[in-house]
Amino acid sequence: MLTQVAEGVLIHQSELLQNNAVVVRGRAGALLVDPGITDDEMRCLASDLSDTGQHPVAGFATHPDWDHVLWHGEFGDVPRYGTARCADVMREVRSRADWRAHAAAGLPPEIAQETPLDLFGLITALPAGTTHVPWDGPEVRVIEHPAHSPGHAALLIEDRGVLVAGDMLSDIFIPMLDDVDGANDPIEEYLTGLSLLEGVADRVDVLVPGHGSVAGADQIRVRIAQDRAYLHALRDGRAPDDPRIGPSAPPGWEWVSDIHAGQAQRLAER
């Protein structure tokens, strides 16, 4: 079901991980951001779009995590943009002979048989210096930053006052760090990303995180501060006072505490 969050901006939320697919209405069709995550959900999204007289004319993947680079044949063969780094990551993934088995192994078991992978990761890189999504619709600014994953980008739908944050500023997920190779400084990278999002906060009326609840203008800086406090605690080796982990975690999301424990352990081992 599509839910309007601002003029011409709608979301479709997945059941399992509360992924927010974002639809931006344009003159000739819609921009579709991070659609997913099961075959039924994507068919439903395509049907809902058709019922409103819209069809996708472009897509965008905010970053190269599996649940943000999915696509369905019913969305059509249209450009699916991402940052150059995001596209490079997915090109490397798909270059491996066993990429499909590797991608399938990373899916949650609850939906492993329900997530289509044929069009997985087929991302068109935005040219260097591109500041806005190239499409016939409202101006959508691309805010690339190093937080969470390589090639991550938030989108600011400028004249609608909507920030599509990718996997940041969630009310159910703590900041998840990109520290796969151990060569980067994932906390500082994440703090850099938060600062870039904070820099546009005064222009935002609606925040759409990759997972969880949509927030209004009064909550944007609250979520930024919460994520920053978590990162500072993690960096300093302190136990975070964060409602998304521990006894105060939302019902059904207690496993997010395991993500925190793993991150704390890896940082301690460094």
Give Cα 144 distance to the centre of its chain. 12
User: Is residue 183 scored above 80 in pLDDT?
Assistant: no
Q: What is the pLDDT of residue 270?
A: 76
Query: Counting every residue, how long is the chain?
Result: 270
Read off the pLDDT of residues 81-124 as tens digits, 9 standing for 90 and up.
Answer: 999 999 999 999 999 999 999 999 999 999 999 999 999 999 99
Model confidence at 217, pLDDT cuts 50, 70, 90, reads: very high
Helix (H, G, I), strand (E, B) or coil at 58: strand
Domain ranges of the chain: 1-130, 139-270
Q: What is the pLDDT of residue 184?
A: 81
Rounded percentage of the chain residues whose pLDDT exceeds 70? 99
What is the DSSP annotation of 60-108? E-SSSSGGGS---GGG-S--EEE-HHHHHHHHHHHHSTTHHHHHHHTS-
Model confidence at 31, pLDDT cuts 50, 70, 90, reads: very high
Give the relative orientation of helices 217-236 and 256-269 as an angle to the nearest 10 degrees.
40
The mean pLDDT of 35-50, rounded to a whole number, is 95
**235 vs 184, higher pLDDT:** 235
| CATH 3.60.15.10 is the classification of domain 1-130 | yes
**184 vs 62, higher pLDDT:** 62
Q: What is the pLDDT of residue 164?
A: 98
